[in-house]
Amino acid sequence: MLDSETEKGKQYIQNEKEVADAVCRKMKCSQILMARNDSQVDRLFYRNEQLVAIGEIKTRNLSLHKLQKLGSYLITHQKIKMGQAFSSLVGVPYFLFVKLLEDGDIYFWKICDKDGEFCIDYDVKTTATAANINGGYVERENAFLSLNYMERLIA
């Protein structure tokens, strides 16, 4: 069973859908949900039958204040590398969208431009983090994104 199929996972999937809908309102576009829940990106965004962006969507039990105290946003480096590769292949920007549940606000980073070139700087460290939304721990390469590149999505 995928983590997204558990009760906790279903709540996160609902939040993911809400974020994708907000992105579509803001960008005046439509979305394609990936065929598998364990895909390396979460959404493709298109307008007038043309792809305009790739999106990775996360939900975190944080407020903006708590995120600022952390000093950066952590995401697996693998997600960043796969999104960058996809962006380079299809010729559209790659974005990370994060909903902070405690505030209800959505923030985003433009990770790559349409050529797959990075728009941000980030640090990579091997750290122990939660294996998934249902618990456990795993050691892996994580990217720490500067909050200086983060913007609030106002849909």
What DSSP string runs through 96-122? EEEEETTTTEEEEEEEE-TTS-BSS-E
The one-letter amino acid at 52: V
Q: pLDDT tens for residues 123-149?
A: 999 998 887 777 788 899 999 999 999
If one counts the domains in the chain, the total is 1
- Please report which confidence band the pLDDT of residue 115 belongs to, taking 50, 70 and 90 as the band edges: very high
Q: The domain that contains 41 carries what CATH number?
A: 3.40.1350.10
How many angstroms separate the CA atoms of 145 and 84, rounded? 14
Element (H, E) at 22: helix 7-27
Report the predicted TM-score, pTM, of the whole model to 2 decimal places.
0.90
**Do the beta carbons of residue 47 and residue 29 sit within 8 Å?**
yes
Q: Tell me, what DSSP letter sits at residue 149?
A: G
Please give the residue range of the domain that contains residue 8. 3-153
How many angstroms separate the CA atoms of 128 and 142, rounded? 9
Q: Could you give the strand order of the β-sheet that contains 105-112, starting from the edge strand earlier in sequence?
A: 30-33, 43-47, 50-60, 94-100, 105-112, 151-153
Q: Tell me, what DSSP letter sits at residue 18?
A: H
